[in-house]
Amino acid sequence: MARRKGAIRVAWKVYRLRPSLAVVPAVGLLCLLAAVGVLLLAAQGICRTVADGHGLSVRQLWPAAAFYPLFTTVSVCFRAALLKAVDGVLRREPLPLRAVFAATARRLPVYALWGLVAPAVDLLEGLLGAQGVGLVLEALLDFSWWTISYFMLPVLVVEGLGPVAAGRRSIRLSLPALGERVAGAFLLQLLTLVLVVLPGIVALIYGAESGSTAVLLLSLGLAVGWGVLVTVLLTTVNGAFRMVLYHRALRALPAGPKAEPQQAGAAPLPV
């Protein structure tokens, strides 16, 4: 029997088969940057009001209060679009990006609801941390949540279930290939550190040590541009990696009357 390829290698193959997948996280990043811009404008108005000694109104505070839920919701919607596009490639039925975004828009309320769960979980973890549960227990809770919710979005995208049923389904799929999932996530984080963070630090240090404002601005621009390009690429590969593991988890389920329809039509592209 031929040895199965690593999920990261398969994910990279998916990207090479359809490089236009990177358009989805690129558009998502632009939307997130626009949200950050709105927050900065709101923060500027708040600072000016406070400096003038005036009280803050609800109209001034709501953009800041809504930023994190909005940020996570937009992020979830574009990750869902990326997973939809990757699933089409894996099934050798690639969808045009217009169809990908249209399909995502039809499920927007479900994705938005899931996008609001992350702030709630973070708030709960923060409250537990404030109660002194300990770093080890907090890390364990965080890892447990990551494990059982890892396939939540693929299930929502591919199987069209509701949030509660998708949650149960994600838990059922969470155990197969857990080691490969952790190793792949670690590798992607390491690549982010090596390809984005370290070059950015080196560029900023070089620009600062040059003593020239022009060189500093050029270094900063190159670091940001390079960071954006690599981040978009790694985000695309990460989405493909998650979908590859999802298909593998489907195949690992025992056959039976409760098997999902997607299992019988598993991805034609070898995963």
List pLDDT tens digits, range 129-158: 656 666 777 778 788 888 888 999 999 999
Q: Where are the domains of the chain?
A: 7-264
Q: What is the pLDDT of residue 163?
A: 87
Would you tell me how many other CB atoms lie within 10 Å of the CB of residue 178? 13
Q: Which two tokens stand for residue 140?
A: 């364990």
Q: What is the pLDDT of residue 137?
A: 74
As a whole number of angstroms, the distance between CA 154 and CA 94 comes to 16
Which amino acid, one-letter code, is at 123? L
Residue closest to 15 by CA, chosen among 96, 93, 79, 85: 85
Q: Tell me the whole-structure pTM to 2 decimals.
A: 0.84
For 221-236, the pLDDT digits (tens) are: 999 999 999 999 999 9
Q: Which two tokens stand for residue 250?
A: 């489907």
101 pLDDT more than 50: yes
As a whole number of angstroms, the distance between CA 4 and CA 24 comes to 28
For 26-85, the pLDDT digits (tens) are: 999 998 888 777 777 767 766 666 666 666 565 656 666 677 777 888 899 999 999 999
SS3 61: helix
Helix axes 135-149, 108-130, angle to 10 degrees: 170
The number of helices, as runs of H, and strands, as runs of E, in the chain is 12, 0
